[in-house]
């Protein structure tokens, strides 16, 4: 089958013929219909988040089952599925408690094993990780659910406890930030969003956010002005020392910062204003995806039309265009606003 492969960090990936993946007894092989282009793939390719080499990127995927392992019950070839980017083991105490997103024995396609920028990809522990995609949800929109959309949803619902009428600040308007804007607006919050890229700010505005140009003023001051003293919930959807600190400083007293953007390399241990955290009793929380078991509540909002992940998918490309799309993630604004998906079946 065809797959995008890189053999060294930062070296241009290429489309190659690779061996068909072997179906595990407890897992499945998914025929990939669509797979997202995400900054996490770029971080891995740059070596910020070490992965075994060579590697096939891709961790946001949806498709149909091509093969079902002999120990898997309740799933058949042809079923439409997606999967969280944290593929949990299904056997440990954390998984038993429903906390699959922090499973210590987790795997991640595109990071710990060959990912979904390929015609087919393996998903182990199918009973724990497969999510059925409703018939009326397109597989390209479903691909966006596995990482950025689900992570934003859990960040705002489970961690932020965001309520109607509250203020939400979103720092960074890439795929995860725009997902947070859409979900915040749907939950009835007033959303303020910021991004260096004017096109990303415009996309956030189109989804219902008020926007701040970070070139003009200190972002945290602008957010506090626009929100009558600070946001109830603020999300760093970039993952940098500057945006993490700005997010914490955007909060009102008792506010909740949720770190969604990965903090890697030189940004791994950012200096946060812990004096303000203590004096104003702020909460600093991390969000790392969402377990398959928590998808039905989110999918119900999609079915009701409250959430529309399809609106975030702005570009569809073939496998041959994927290497350039990966490289473009290193230049702010170069990838264009919204979510790009790779459609391996497209020539
Ligand atoms: Zn992702
Ligand atoms: Zn586990």
The per-residue pLDDT for range 109-145, each reduced to its tens digit, is: 999 999 999 999 999 999 999 999 999 999 999 998 8
Q: How many helices (H) and strands (E) does the chain have?
A: 12, 15
pLDDT at 347 over 70: no
Tell me which residue of 148, 149, 154, 82 sits closest to 116, measured CA to CA.
Answer: 82
**Terminal-residue alpha carbon distance, the chain:** 14
At residue 332, the pLDDT reads 73
Beta bridge partners of 245: none
pLDDT for residue 335 is more than 90: no
| Spacing, Cα 63 to ligand 1 middle (Å) | 16
Handedness of CA 220, 225, 230, 236 (dihedral sign): negative
pLDDT of residue 250: 98
What phi-psi label fits residue 111: left (phi over 0), alpha (psi between -120 and 50 degrees) or beta? alpha
**Ligand 1 center from residue 139 Cα (angstroms):** 16
Q: What's the 123 CA to ligand 2 centre distance in angstroms?
A: 14
- Determine the Cα angle at 301 with ends 184 and 336, to 5°: 55
Tell me, in angstroms, the distance from the centre of ligand 1 to residue 40's CA. 5
* Percent of the chain clearing pLDDT 70 (strictly above): 100
Q: Nearest Cα to 2, choosing from 78, 116, 101, 109?
A: 116
- As a whole number, the mean pLDDT across the chain is 95
User: What is the predicted pLDDT for the residue at 265?
Assistant: 84
Q: Ligand 1 mean position to 314 CA, how many Å? A: 16
Angle at alpha carbon of residue 215, lines to 223 and 239, rounded to 5°: 70
Residue 317 φ then ψ, to 5°: -130, 165
**Ligand whose nearest atom lies closest to the CA of 110:** 1
Percent of residues, the chain, with pLDDT higher than 90: 90
- Enter the pTM of the model: 0.92
Question: Could you tell me the distance, in angstroms and rounded to a whole number, from the CA of residue 270 to the centre of ligand 2?
Answer: 29
Return the higher-pLDDT residue of 262 and 33: 33
Interacting residues of 90 by C-beta distance below 8 A, sequence separation 6+? 26, 100, 125, 127, 128, 129
Answer whether residue 220 shows pLDDT above 80: yes
Ligand sitting nearest the alpha carbon of 143: 1
Mean pLDDT throughout 93-112? 97
Ligand nearest to the CA of residue 125, numbered in listed order: 2
- Banded pLDDT at 278 (limits 50, 70, 90): very high
| Ion ligand 2 — residues with CB < 5 Å | 88-89, 92, 95, 103, 105
Say which residue the tokens 């812990």 belong to: 274
**Bridge partners, residue 155, by sequence:** none
């Amino acid at each position: 089958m065809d797959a995008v492969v890189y053999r060294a960090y930062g070296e241009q990936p290429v489309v190659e013929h690779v061996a068909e993946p072997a179906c595990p007894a407890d897992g499945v092989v998914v025929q990939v219909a669509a797979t997202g282009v995400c900054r996490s793939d770029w971080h891995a390719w740059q070596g910020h988040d070490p992965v075994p080499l060579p590697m096939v990127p891709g961790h946001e995927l949806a498709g149909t089952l091509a093969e079902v392992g002999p120990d898997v019950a309740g799933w058949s070839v042809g079923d439409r599925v997606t999967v969280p980017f944290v593929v949990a083991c299904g056997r440990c105490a954390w998984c038993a408690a429903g906390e699959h997103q922090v499973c210590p024995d987790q795997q991640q396609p595109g990071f710990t094993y060959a990912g979904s920028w390929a015609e087919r990809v393996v998903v182990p522990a199918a009973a724990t990780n497969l999510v059925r995609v409703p018939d009326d949800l397109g597989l390209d929109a479903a691909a966006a659910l596995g990482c950025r959309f689900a992570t934003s949803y859990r960040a705002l619902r489970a961690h932020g406890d965001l309520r109607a009428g509250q203020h939400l600040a979103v720092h960074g308007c890439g795929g995860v930030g725009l997902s947070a804007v859409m979900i915040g607006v749907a939950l009835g919050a007033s959303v303020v969003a910021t991004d260096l890229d004017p096109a990303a700010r415009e996309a956030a505005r189109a989804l219902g956010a008020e926007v701040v140009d970070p070139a003009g003023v200190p972002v945290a001051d602008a957010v506090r002005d626009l929100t009558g003293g600070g946001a109830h919930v603020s999300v760093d959807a970039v993952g940098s020392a500057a945006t993490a600190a700005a997010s914490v400083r955007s909060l009102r007293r008792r506010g909740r910062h949720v770190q969604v953007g990965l903090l890697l390399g030189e940004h791994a241990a950012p200096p946060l204003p812990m004096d303000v955290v203590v004096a104003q009793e702020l909460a600093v929380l991390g969000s790392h995806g969402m377990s398959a078991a928590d998808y039905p509540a989110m999918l119900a909002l999609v079915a009701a039309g409250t959430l529309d992940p399809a609106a975030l998918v702005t570009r569809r490309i073939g496998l041959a265009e994927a290497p350039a799309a990966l490289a473009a993630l290193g230049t702010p604004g170069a990838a264009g606003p919204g979510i790009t998906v790779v459609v391996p079946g497209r020539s």
